[in-house]
A and B are shown apart, each in its own frame.
Chain A
């Protein structure tokens, strides 16, 4: 009965590879988000989707492409991975834009 789930939990890959992280929420929320948390725990929003439409894209390189096949899913695809992409990526969802957000457990991405 997990509310917001992400897969995989850990992802180790080499520079230049392409990878995807999946997110699903079963809360019936309309809005989903991707955040990046760096090694100093600083958390920054990357994308926000409302009803499958992109609302926010916060100066993220176009190597990152979110895809929302339906309201319950928001996947993150990353092309040509770089060392600086190493971080923990969190998915979140809310009933309205910006409101009480519920976070997934995170995906720790390590690029070697």
Chain B
């Protein structure tokens, strides 16, 4: 089955850029997603990218997809303390009926 990996932890200073990385194994994945989970809350969809795109920008968020290397990244510009949360990447299977989530990256933003 699909395997999705993320680094566990990232710490940045307020105002810096954050880059959260994700690797996956199924090259036929169609949609790839980034979710944010704040403490005690459910997952909030941040953005997604279709597999025929290399990049997608949405305000402070930039998603980069390298299909050859099966690598997905989320860049947050001008990171704020309110961005502190766990970020999950999720990959949709080829059948389009299931998401596989990475283990989540805990982002800590220091003032």
Contact = CB atoms under 8 A, between A and B. Distances in A.
B88 A43 contact: yes
**Majority SS at the chain B contact face:** strand
Interface stretch (B13-21, B42-50, B74-82): B42-50
A64 B34 CA distance: 28
Contacts of B95: 97-98
Given A100-B33, A102-B45, A105-B42, A42 B103 contact: yes
B21 to A, nearest CB: 17
Interface of A: 4, 40-45, 48, 50, 55-56, 90, 92, 96-106
Interface of B: 31, 33, 35, 37, 40-45, 48, 86, 88, 92-93, 95-101, 103-104, 106
